[in-house]
Amino acid sequence: MLSRSRSQDVKDRNGDWIGPAPWIHTAPPGPVTVKALRKEPHLAAICGDWPFPLIMRHAQGTVVEDIDQNRYLDFDAGVRVSVAGHAHPRVIKALSDWASAASSRRSESPPVMAQVNLIRQLLQISRGDHSRQVCLTGHAAGSLALAVEAARRHTGRSRVLELVGPGAGRTAGASAVQGGAAGRKLIRVPWPHGAADDVLRDLVGSAQPAAAIVLRPLSGAADHWMPPEGLLEVLQAACRSRGTLLIVDESESGLGRTGRMFWCDRCEAVPDALIVADGAAGPGPFSAVIASQPFAEQVVALSGGVCPISQPVAIAAAAAIELVERQFLQRAAEFGPAVLSKLTWIADKHRNLLRPRGLGLALAVDVVRAGRRGTPAPALRDRLLAEAFSRGLLLRGCGRSGIRFAPPLTANRLQMEIALEIFDEAVATVAD
């Protein structure tokens, strides 16, 4: 638990109305949580897969409070929560203004305009020519399923490859694409380290070219793999030579998390389809497929012209994107190198950690067995996550034995310093 003076600094600098964090009144799971789960066991379904049950009472910015009044720093916002964090005041105001206008019937805009404005924002922040089109979906899995099925229909081919880091490639031969009538699979192909252009062309295929290649940079499911520099340009050239479509899924790396609006903005290549997503920016998550012509026509046709997200979701998402443009993009670019440097210093201290990787505020570090560098230690990783949780820091694992640091972009410098100190202490406590 933080000292009163230091925790007060966190409150003052971040403006978290629920109070400073971390602040652990009782070791989790606390008595109120235990009693609630005993009385209503179905509550366990909403606790998530944390090391201990977590029933949220309040959340603001980077701070989460449970029903035992324990407060945690949430450093798992890269996937679960919007880049704008929990209940950002500007997001709440945008929703409040919309609700007020709608209830009093003062709004002169037709209902669809909220979604149209969100589409305009997505086109503005992404690269490509004026012929691009956007299809909104309710979640990233739906966007990927839409793009993959559209690629199959557009090319008349069935094979779709997902290019992943070598570690992820060893753990599974295929990954599911939810949605679609057949629930078809992606073939997972490990990226050959140091491969030349001709190897990539062989992956795309010459005798039976693939319909599409899917690339998911910094995906937690793929060991938080960061593609090698220059990969996207080489991959795009290989795809174009075979008539294969290139789909980049930036549901975890996009919207400012890497210090750029999108990971693929670091090179000149523009994918045929870009998948964008954000977590619970307010009333719910959203996702979108931004596709180039002529592939875009197939995406739109397959979607049926139906927009599955509501006005409140569109308004909250638009407010979050505006915050990224105005504040968060610069914050991730500025804070990211300092956080990576401190995380590297921590890893160098402990035999159970490999050097971290990532960009901006989307980082990860692997937990390994002491004395056997590079040998994954998933059980030790889980103990480390539990120790951090008990100290008031929410982290989540990735890949085989990695830990991901992906705070909402609202996190301030002091919160990042405190989170890294807690992590350092947790490693020292559970290390071999």
E strand segments, 241-342: 245-249, 273-278, 286-291
Q: Is the dihedral of CA 213, 214, 216, 221 positive or negative?
A: negative
pLDDT (0 to 100) of residue 180: 47
What pLDDT is recorded for position 15?
45
> CA 391, CA 260: separation in Å to the nearest integer?
32
User: Model's pTM, two decimal places?
Assistant: 0.89
How is residue 303 written in tokens?
């979607």
How would you write the pLDDT of the chain (432 residues) with one tens digit per residue?
444 344 444 443 444 567 788 999 899 999 999 999 999 988 887 787 888 899 988 888 999 999 999 999 999 876 667 899 988 999 999 988 888 887 766 555 566 788 999 999 999 999 988 889 999 998 889 999 999 999 999 999 998 999 887 555 444 445 556 544 445 678 888 776 555 555 566 666 667 788 999 999 988 777 888 888 888 998 898 899 889 999 999 999 999 999 999 999 999 999 999 999 987 656 778 899 999 999 999 999 998 877 788 889 999 999 999 999 999 999 999 999 999 999 999 999 999 999 999 999 999 999 999 876 678 999 999 999 999 999 999 999 988 899 999 999 999 999 999 999 999 999 999 986
For 107: left if phi > 0, alpha if psi spans -120 to 50, otherwise beta; the answer is: beta
Read off the amino acid at residue 303: S
Cβ neighbours of residue 148 under 8 Å, at least 6 residues apart? 160, 177, 180, 184, 186, 211, 212, 214, 247
Query: Which of 106, 354, 335 has its CA nearest to residue 224?
Result: 354
Could you tell me the strand order of the sheet in which 71-74 lies?
A: 56-60, 63-66, 71-74, 393-394
Separation CA 195–CA 165 (nearest Å): 13
Q: How far apart are CA 343 and CA 54, in angstroms?
A: 26
Contact of 305 with 296, CB cutoff 8 Å = no
CA distance 29 to 68: 8
Cβ atoms within 10 Å, residue 232 = 22
SS3 call for 360:
coil
Is 148 in contact with 289 (CB distance < 8 Å)? no
| Structural domains in the chain, sorted by start | 4-87+328-430 (3.90.1150.10), 91-322 (3.40.640.10)
H or E, element range at 372: none
- Give Cα 43 distance to the centre of its chain: 25
Output phi, psi for 23, to 5 deg: -150, 100
Whole-angstrom distance, CA of residue 25 vs CA of residue 10: 17
pLDDT at 11: 44
> Is residue 94 within 8 Å of 332, Cβ to Cβ?
no
Query: What does the pLDDT read at residue 194?
Result: 53
